[in-house]
Each structure stands twice: as structure tokens, then as C-alpha cells.
């Protein structure tokens, strides 16, 4: 069975850091991009960022709201992706989800992650003093 | 970033009704459009990818159409288990979601 499972959420003070993990099983992890999304309480879905597969450099893209503060990484040997969050703000409070997606090269030549077909169950991050 | 505008923000319909949700992109995204269903307390579930491709296991009463800037998600005969919030998402450039459409049973 294909599974993704987030962990590492919790209560953290503003300005501090937190690292989330996304453990996967049931598929060839190295063949897939991994995206992170979040959902603030009572709000809609927001894309946080994603990491490409190693053949595409394992490079990353981030939403403007987290760029420079969040870093996504991957360990293909352990089939795990991570989201390292620093300089946390109250507005980062949300349920964080990881999801897998296929690499797609768009007509414009961008290397993106297409549909997120399998998601983890989410982990709650609360930023508060 | 590309803005995605969904309509309506919520709707109430009876079992068996045909329901249509629309999603408009602020610029041409081709068919780089997905639809997700999210039930309370659960992760989103992919229903349709690339505007019109039904995911395996998703009931055939769900369908998607559109290209460029205008897209629709249709539920041909609403069922009680379809109560959820539905989101469109473009993934062609820095993914963004619509604000969601909450579907309830009348």
C-alpha cells in the first residue's frame, strides 16, 4: 500500500525552528517529486513548496510566503522527505501535508510536480508564545 | 502568481441533483488543472487530473472539463457521501488553489 506519513508537528514559539518529516512506503520514492502543502485553521489549501527528483537535480521551489525560511530536502535511500521551518511566525500555524507527484515538463519548459495523488494524514504545527 | 477563482463558495443541493462548480484562472494554464475533494479532518483526495482525467477509483458521476482559463467540475447525480469541500488547483507555475466550494446536502 502506498503511504505517506508526516511527523514532527507541535507547539513552537515564534522565531523558533521545527523540522517535519514525511516517511513513505509502497512505491519507488526516487521516482516522485514531493510537495508540501498547509491549511490554516478554517482556511483553504496553500502550496508550500516541492522538491524535484534527483534526475532533475533534486532542486526545490517555494511559495513566496515561506521562501528563505523553509527548506525542503529528500533522502532517497530512506524514502523520506523533510521540511525544515525556521523563523516561524504565527501565520505559519496550520496542518502540514506532504504528497507525492510525478515530474512533468510543461510546454514552457518548466519542471513541475503534477497532480498530488497520494497525501499524508497531516501534522499540526502551532506557532504561539 | 496565477489566481484561481472558484464559484460558488458554497452550495446546498438535493441527492440526485446535478452540481457544477466552476474555476477560473487569471491566465492561460492549458490543462494543468486538478480537482480535489476534502472531507472534514481529512487530507485532500485527488479526483481529476489534467482537467478531465478521472482518477482510478473515483465514481463516474464526477467529471471535469475545460482548457485555458475556464474549468468545471460536475457531479452528475449528487450523493450524500459527496458532502465535502472541493478545490481546483493549477500546477503549471507555482501551484495555487481556488478558495474552495463547500457542498452540502439539502
- On the question of pLDDT at B42 being above 70, the answer is yes
Q: CA-CA-CA-CA torsion for B18, B53, B3, B11, nearest 10 degrees?
A: 20
Mutate to test the interface with A, among B38, B90, B95 (most CBs of A within 10 A): B95
Name the minimum distance, in Å, from the CA of B89 to any CA of chain A: 9
| Coil, helix or strand at residue B101 | strand
With bands split at pLDDT 50, 70 and 90, how would you rate the model's confidence at A128? very high
pLDDT tens readout for residues A103-122: 999 988 999 999 999 999 99
Give chain B positions within 8 Å (CB) of A119.
Answer: 43-45
**A26: exposed, middle or buried (C-beta count within 10 Å: 0-12, 13-18, 19+)?**
exposed
pLDDT computed for residue B92 by the predictor:
75
Dihedral sign from CA coordinates of A23, A29, A34, A38: negative
Phi-psi region of B91 (alpha: psi -120 to 50; beta: other; left: phi over 0): alpha
The CB density around residue B57, as the number of other CB atoms within 10 Å, is 7
- On the question of pLDDT at B3 being above 80, the answer is yes
Amino acid at each position: 500500500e502506498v503511504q505517506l506519513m508526516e511527523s514532527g508537528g507541535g507547539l513552537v514559539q515564534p522565531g523558533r525552528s521545527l523540522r517535519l518529516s514525511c516517511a513513505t512506503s509502497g512505491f519507488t520514492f526516487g521516482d516522485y517529486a514531493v510537495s508540501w502543502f498547509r491549511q490554516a485553521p478554517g482556511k483553504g489549501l496553500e502550496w508550500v513548496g516541492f522538491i524535484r527528483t534527483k534526475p532533475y537535480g533534486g532542486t526545490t521551489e517555494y511559495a513566496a510566503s515561506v521562501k528563505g525560511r523553509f527548506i525542503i530536502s529528500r533522502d532517497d535511500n530512506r524514502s523520506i522527505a523533510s521540511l525544515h521551518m525556521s523563523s516561524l511566525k504565527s501565520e505559519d500555524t496550520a496542518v502540514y501535508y506532504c504528497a507525492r507527484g510525478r515530474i512533468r515538463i510543461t510546454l514552457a519548459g518548466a519542471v513541475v510536480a503534477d497532480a498530488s495523488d497520494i497525501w499524508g494524514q497531516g501534522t499540526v504545527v502551532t506557532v504561539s508564545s | 502568481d496565477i489566481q484561481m477563482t472558484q464559484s460558488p463558495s458554497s452550495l446546498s443541493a438535493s441527492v440526485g441533483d446535478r452540481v457544477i462548480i466552476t474555476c477560473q484562472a487569471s491566465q492561460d494554464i492549458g490543462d494543468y488543472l486538478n480537482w480535489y475533494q476534502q472531507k472534514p479532518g481529512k487530507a485532500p483526495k485527488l479526483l481529476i487530473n489534467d482537467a478531465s482525467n478521472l482518477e482510478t477509483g473515483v465514481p463516474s458521476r464526477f467529471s471535469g472539463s475545460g482548457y485555458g482559463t475556464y474549468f468545471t467540475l460536475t457531479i452528475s447525480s449528487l450523493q450524500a457521501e459527496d458532502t465535502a469541500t472541493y478545490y481546483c488547483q493549477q500546477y503549471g507555475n507555482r501551484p495555487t488553489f481556488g478558495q474552495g466550494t463547500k457542498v452540502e446536502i439539502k
